[in-house]
Amino acid sequence: MNDEVTKPTLLGFIITPIVQQVAEKGILQGYFLRFGRYLSMLTYLYEVGAILGRAKRNELDMLSKMIALPGKENEVIRDFEQIAAQRLESYESTMGVYRKPGSFWHFIYTTECAKGGIPPLNSHMVTLRTLREGVFKRKMPYNVSLENLIKGFLVEAIAFGSTFPDLAEYMWRNSYEHVTADELSHYQRTGLILFPNGLLTNFEKQEKMVLDLVGSYASKYYPSIAVSLNLAIP
């Protein structure tokens, strides 16, 4: 059997365990994601991707070799840089120019919900309670199209981190290093934020977790790239 056929992609390696945590099995249908949990998953993946892109922003071509089809390595992340910039522009146009996002969750919530015409949070029309009791319960069938959409989302996140490294770091630190343990616990209980690998409130530790995750994949499937990216795990 051809190893290239059975080799999982880096995107699938990162995404699959998270999808397995949030997906539900329908009685008369296949698996589905509730919109609220979908947003939480996207937030976590955007954080992971942005941290990875920020850390390896000077080595994107090498990183792309674990993401793109042969011959497309020089295009995949670069193509998503404009999409990442457009998301930031969308956030600013919704929340007000010069207002940079203070957290990944609010950034993703605002831009994703804007696509569906859902008002911004705390706009006197929307509260977390109304969201949890309403739109967050909507079911999204998990199929190949949604899976590919999520994979593209992760690549966009890598592009965001490489394009806006200082902003990506600020958003993470502002989300987790300047809030109380009770607040983080509340977010976790309500499902607004996912902590698949435990609760971390230190950016350097979170960055190491992300790089170790990618390193475990690269060391097994792309050992020479793992060495080049200084991600090799013995």
Q: In this model, does residue 116 exceed pLDDT 70?
A: no
* Residue 147, H or E segment: helix 144-163
Residue 79 CB: number of other CB atoms within 10 A? 15
* Span of 52-56, 96-100, 158-162 with lowest mean pLDDT: 96-100
Provide mean pLDDT across the span 149-164: 95
Residue 129's pLDDT band (cuts 50, 70, 90): low
Q: Give per-residue pLDDT as tens, 18-61.
A: 999 889 998 877 899 988 888 889 999 999 999 999 999 999 98
Instruction: Look at residue 196 in the predicted model and tell me its pLDDT.
Output: 62
Place of tokens 């960055």: 207
Instruction: Look at residue 81 in the predicted model and tell me its pLDDT.
Output: 93
Instruction: Look at residue 125 in the predicted model and tell me its pLDDT.
Output: 47
Is the distance from CB of 45 to CB of 14 less than 8 angstroms?
yes
Instruction: Look at residue 123 in the predicted model and tell me its pLDDT.
Output: 47
pTM of the model: 0.87
CA distance 104 to 207: 15
Burial class (CB in 10 A: 0-12, 13-18, 19+), 77: buried
Instruction: Look at residue 3 in the predicted model and tell me its pLDDT.
Output: 45
Sheet holding 31-34, edge to edge: 24-25, 31-34, 139-141
Provide mean pLDDT across the span 136-163: 92
Instruction: Look at residue 68 in the predicted model and tell me its pLDDT.
Output: 74
Instruction: Look at residue 124 in the predicted model and tell me its pLDDT.
Output: 44
Residue 25 phi/psi, 5-degree rounding, is -100, 120
Question: For residues 197 and 108, which has the higher predicted lDDT (pLDDT)?
Answer: 108
Could you state, in order of their start, the residue ranges of all structural domains in the chain? 3-228
Question: For residues 167 and 35, which has the higher predicted lDDT (pLDDT)?
Answer: 167
Strands (E), the chain: 24-25, 31-34, 139-141
CA distance 204 to 227: 21
The whole-chain average pLDDT of the chain stands at: 83
Q: In this model, does residue 67 exceed pLDDT 50?
A: yes
Q: Per the structure block, which two tokens stand in for 143? A: 């199929």
Q: Per the structure block, which two tokens stand in for 72? A: 């497309």
Instruction: Look at residue 147 in the predicted model and tell me its pLDDT.
Output: 92
